[in-house]
């Protein structure tokens, strides 16, 4: 009886471990994807800032960054 309970516990523990590690991998992948996308948006905004043809608000809209983030990139935001 104890052997059966122990075996069931080990199986449950393994199953939970498999599920959780999959969730952690997915979360890490999603985080890395979001970071890469955000870096791309920042590089795009910086190129637009250097061109000097758009307002901060227009750059924010085009790059999908906040106005505050574009201002920070442009060195305009105060502390």
Q: Distance between CA atoms of 38 and 5, rounded to whole angstroms?
A: 49
Indicate the domain borders of the chain. 2-74
Asked if residues 58 and 76 have their Cβ atoms less than 8 Å apart, the reply is no
Whole-structure pTM value: 0.62
Instruction: Summarize the confidence of residues 21-44 as an average pLDDT.
Output: 85
Predicted pLDDT at 79? 45
Q: What is the per-residue pLDDT for 36?
A: 94
Instruction: Tell me the mean pLDDT in the region 44-69.
Output: 96
Contacts of 67 (CB under 8 A, 6+ apart): 56, 57, 60
What pLDDT shows up at residue 14? 65
Residue 29: what pLDDT? Answer: 83
Q: Can you spell out the DSSP letters for 6-53?
A: HHHHHHHHHHHHHHHHHHHHHHHHHHHHHHHHHHHHHHHHHHHHHHT-
Q: What DSSP state is assigned to residue 64?
A: T
């Amino acid at each position: 009886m104890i052997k059966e309970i122990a075996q069931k516990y080990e199986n449950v523990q393994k199953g939970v471990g498999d599920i959780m590690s999959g969730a952690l991998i997915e979360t890490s992948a999603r985080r890395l994807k979001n970071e890469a996308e955000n870096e791309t948006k920042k590089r795009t905004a910086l190129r637009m800032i250097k061109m000097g043809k758009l307002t901060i608000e227009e750059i924010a809209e085009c790059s999908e960054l906040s106005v505050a983030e574009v201002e920070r990139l442009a060195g305009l935001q105060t502390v």
